[in-house]
Amino acid sequence: MRVLSEAQLLLVMGTLLLGVSCGEHPESTYQSIAAAQASGAIERGWIPASLPASTARIREKHDIDTNEAWGMFEFHPDDRPASDTLVLASGPALSELKIRSADVEWWPTALTGALSQQKLENFEFYVVETPHRFWVALDRKQRRGFFWNASAIE
């Protein structure tokens, strides 16, 4: 029977802990939309392609098994969405959405569960149809935006 040295045992334990901590719900941060693009996060469908040009300090979380994705970003309040693929959304379609929680401290409770009329008044909502379907909520007063993909809808 082989006995592991203390260094070997620590290496094995560290590897096991690292594997457990990574999990299926990775979180990433990007300083700009260009950095997110360069990393491949937009192409993989974790971040929408049509965010405002001033988008910065992006945080995103996704679930590898379910393809759910949520994110937060900052932007200049005078900036508008960057593309024709981002369309202003309103009305009954929004009030019927039920958004699953991202289970992270930066995701607002206002964007979890059913979207009530009060919640709808605080944000400007957009939908991105291509290449991946996302909803984007802009809070111009707070200079923050949030996004989630179709898989994050109940």
Within a domain: 1: no
- 44-53, 99-108, 124-133: range with lowest mean pLDDT: 124-133
How high is the pLDDT of residue 144?
95
Within a domain: 69: yes
The tally of domains found in the chain comes to: 1
For residue 57, give Cα distances in angstroms to 65, 131, 138, 148: 26, 22, 15, 16
Task: Write the pLDDT tens digit of every residue in 33-80.
Answer: 999 999 999 998 899 988 888 999 999 999 988 889 999 999 998 887
Q: Which domain holds residue 95?
A: 25-152
Indicate left, alpha or beta for 67 from its phi (over 0: left) and psi (-120 to 50: alpha).
left
What string of H, E and C letters represents the secondary structure of the chain? CCCCCHHHHHHHHHHHHHHHHHCCCCEEEEEEHHHHHHHCCCCCCCCCCCCCCCCEEEEEEECCCCCCEEEEEECCCCCCCCCCCEEEECCHHHHCCEECCCCCCCCCHHHCEECCHHHHHCCEEEEECCCCCEEEEEECCCCEEEEEEHHHEC
Within a domain: 20: no
Within a domain: 11: no
How high is the pLDDT of residue 7?
57
Within a domain: 121: yes
Better pLDDT: 86 or 134: 134
Within a domain: 52: yes
Within a domain: 2: no
Within a domain: 6: no
